[in-house]
Amino acid sequence: MERQYLMWSTHLRRSCAWLCLVALAALSGCSEQYPSLPRLDAADVVLAFGDSLTYGTGARSGESYPEVLSELIGRTVVSEGVPGERTAEGLERLADVLDMHQPRIMLLCLGGNDMLRKVDSSETESNLRQMIDTATARGIGVVLIGVPKPALLGGTAQFYERIAEDYAIPYEGKALNEILKDNDYKSDPIHPNARGYRLLATALAEVLSRSGAI
């Protein structure tokens, strides 16, 4: 009985912590202008573009963040995640993916494999910027998702925030870092589990709401 109480108490504290993070994020956006996105009509498509974090490695079918996000916002969210992909490879395939899906908004989550394979950060940043240029040139709104560095206490790589500021686009740079610090929300050191992907989807739904997309 005591053990069950301790487990329940721990879960409650963690749940409260996440609720506080979401509330603080919402409050912080009230005091300053938040970057805007195109308003999504019912038939509009959101493209989730990235690597294994977008594919949903570590969770079962139906539990990836794009699939959960689609449920949360009531819009079609197409997943184009390729496990192991680096930003250079993503840049090569992006134009064809945009032609195929004609999205209104793109969620961009790449760079983790570059860091794992020691790609120079300036190259990663350049590739991400070119992907944003490719999308915005077509009138597609972009949300950038920051990826943590694969190191103990690494934190989210700083170039993500710099890119988001330069392009004045919505940015989610905290959720993945917080998820991957908690064993309850990850399947291995670099991938969330189903609960973690749901938290990421919830954070992105908040970003879309604050930016006026939904």
Q: Could you give the residue ranges of the DSSP H alpha helices within the chain?
A: 2-30, 52-55, 65-73, 87-101, 112-116, 121-136, 158-167, 175-179, 194-210
Residues 55 and 130 in one domain: yes
pLDDT at site 4: 46
Strand-strand pairing, 105-109 and 45-50? parallel
Residues 87 and 171 in one domain: yes
| 37 is a domain residue | no
d(CA 186, CA 59): 9
The DSSP result for 119-144, as a single string, is: --HHHHHHHHHHHHHHHHTTT-EEEE
Residues 180 and 94 in one domain: yes
Q: Which domain holds residue 159?
A: 42-210
Residues 20 and 113 in one domain: no
| 35 is a domain residue | no
Residues 25 and 127 in one domain: no
| 141 is a domain residue | yes
Q: How many domains does the chain have?
A: 2
Mean pLDDT of 124-146: 98
Centroid of chain to Cα 155: 15
| Sole residue written with tokens 């409260």 | 16
Residues 102 and 199 in one domain: yes
26 confidence band (pLDDT: 50, 70, 90) = very low
Q: Do 104 and 76 contact (CB within 8 A), yes or no?
A: no
Residues 19 and 46 in one domain: no
pTM for this predicted structure: 0.85
pLDDT > 70: percent of the chain: 84
In the predicted structure, residue 49 carries a pLDDT above the cut 90: yes
| 149 is a domain residue | yes
Read off φ and ψ for residue 33, nearest 5 degrees.
-70, 125
Residues 18 and 68 in one domain: no
In the predicted structure, residue 7 carries a pLDDT above the cut 50: no
Contacts of 71 (CB under 8 A, 6+ apart): none
Residues 128 and 203 in one domain: yes
In the predicted structure, residue 21 carries a pLDDT above the cut 80: no
| 36 is a domain residue | no
Which CATH number is 76's domain given? 3.40.50.1110
One-letter amino acid of 24: L
Q: What is the pLDDT of residues 136-181, one digit of tens each?
A: 999 999 999 999 998 766 799 999 999 999 999 999 999 999 999 9
The overall average pLDDT reported for the chain is 89
Residues 70 and 157 in one domain: yes
Residues 26 and 46 in one domain: no
Q: What is the pLDDT of residues 90-116, one digit of tens each?
A: 999 999 999 999 999 999 999 999 999
pLDDT at site 154: 72
| 57 is a domain residue | yes
Residues 128 and 184 in one domain: yes
Judging by beta carbons within 10 Å of its beta carbon (0-12, 13-18, 19+), is residue 1 exposed, middle or buried? exposed
In the predicted structure, residue 28 carries a pLDDT above the cut 80: no
pLDDT higher for 34 or 167? 167
Q: Do 69 and 213 contact (CB within 8 A), yes or no?
A: no
123 CB-side CA count, 13 A: 13
